Amino acid sequence: MVQTGPAGDFNGEITMKELSKAVGSRLGRPSRRRLLQGLGAVGLSAATVPLLRRPASAADEAVYFTWGGYDIPELFGPYIAQHGVPPDFPVFGDAEEAFNKLRAGFVVDVVHPCSSDTPRWREAGLIQPIDTDRLSFWGGVFPKLKAMPGIQADGKQWFVPFEWGQTSITYRTDLVDLGGEEESWGILWDERYAGKIAMIGAAEDAWYCAAIYAGVDVNNVTDDDLAKVRTLLEEQRPLVRMYSSDLTSVEQALASGEIVAAMTWNESPVNLMGQGVPVKFANPKEGALTWCCGVVLHKEAPNPDKAYDVINSLISPEVGEYVINEFGYGHANLLSFDRVSEERLAELGLSREPMQIIDRGIFVGPQPPEITTKVNRDWEEIIAGF
């Protein structure tokens, strides 16, 4: 069984470096939705991880149900300072898996979906409203992120923003020839790169990015739009070398030149540039898909006080500084950006005025259930024929 725990006595003060040594990052560097290879190394699958629990001595810690890779101590400095150990960390591979496990009765304290998932989870009776008066850092959260479509209802807050970023194209600048043209999603449909293209293996990214390329209004999808996007994805399929949400493998393939362009999140170009690989994160002329993920409170959270400590930790400026520097993502707390140098922000494609980036992105709001069902159906059928 995978376990974590502090090494030695806890004195109430701990730095991020000491934190990593004391608690240990058992699954390596985080990414937005990565089922990291550490699971396979110990013979575990994503399906079994939610069943793992802490030893009895730590069983009363908050349970944070999150994407694989966010289960690291660096995101929980304030929580560990209070409680001496991090929360419990069951993980999921995508939001649909998390939704189904919760609906089947898996009880946790805090869950890490994205904003567009919130109405469906609320309507399914899986979550409870959040008392923002109990959030120490709520005042620093961007007002626009607090009021994204679907996350407030009945005069209550049902979702707390944590991190935000973009889904775009990471491409090898030495192997992709734009010919002086603007960057476009068309790179991923370019027959010159047949067999050297990778796509994120999740409809919530791939389908909606294809829709943006097709000129579809992603917040007003019609049956005609569904047919148009399906055709576009079917045309692309012979060009694709891999559909994967394991971006470690995608980054390795980009580094080796096995693939030359891939749909990724912000973190991949940061990782690759740090290795000296000549890549760029595209700013497609059609627009990049912008997303915001965060946390919700389970309707039966068994540790409500510690659940709020988890949320406070995630939206603290110090954790935000780590998220910006290490992942290249934006953080929900404006004060986080004050802790990062101008040079580093520019290197990451961020700025001291992050609303400029948020405002020019394309957010997918909550979708009608029938559209979500059709999108997932089409996507599963497309990749099943790969």
Classified by CATH at the fold level, domain 165-290+363-384 comes out as: D-Maltodextrin-Binding Protein; domain 2 (3.40.190)
Rounded mean pLDDT of the chain? 84
Position with higher pLDDT, 289 vs 28: 289
For residue 46, pLDDT over 90 is answered with no
Position with higher pLDDT, 289 vs 3: 289
- Of the pLDDT bands very low, low, confident and very high (cuts 50, 70, 90), residue 213 is very high
- Quote the pLDDT of residue 386: 58
What is the helix, strand, coil percentage profile of the chain, to 5? 45, 15, 40
CB-CB contact of 146 with 342 (8 Å): no
For residue 130, pLDDT over 80 is answered with yes
- Quote the pLDDT of residue 67: 87
Burial (CB < 10 A; 0-12, 13-18, 19+), residue 71, is buried
pTM of the model: 0.76
For range 159-179, the mean pLDDT: 96
- Of the pLDDT bands very low, low, confident and very high (cuts 50, 70, 90), residue 317 is very high
- Of the pLDDT bands very low, low, confident and very high (cuts 50, 70, 90), residue 311 is very high
Out of 3.40.190.10, 3.10.520.10, 3.40.50.2300, 1.10.3720.10, the CATH code matching 16-164+291-359 is 3.40.190.10
Residue range 91-126, pLDDT digits in tens: 987 888 899 999 999 999 999 999 989 999 999 999
For residue 90, pLDDT over 80 is answered with yes
For residue 35, pLDDT over 60 is answered with no
CA distance 41 to 267: 23
CA distance 107 to 124: 14
Structure tokens at 365: 């709001």
For range 311-320, the mean pLDDT: 97
Residue range 192-207, pLDDT digits in tens: 999 999 999 888 899 9
- Of the pLDDT bands very low, low, confident and very high (cuts 50, 70, 90), residue 160 is very high
For range 134-161, the mean pLDDT: 94
Q: Which long-range contacts (CB under 8 A, 24 or more apart) does 217-224 make?
A: 218/362, 218/364, 219/363, 219/364, 219/365, 219/367, 221/367, 221/371, 221/375
CATH 3.40.190.10 intervals, the chain: 16-164+291-359, 165-290+363-384
Position with higher pLDDT, 177 vs 385: 177
For range 134-149, the mean pLDDT: 94
The b/e string for 51-64 (b: 16+ C-beta within 10 A; e otherwise) is eeebeeebeebbbb
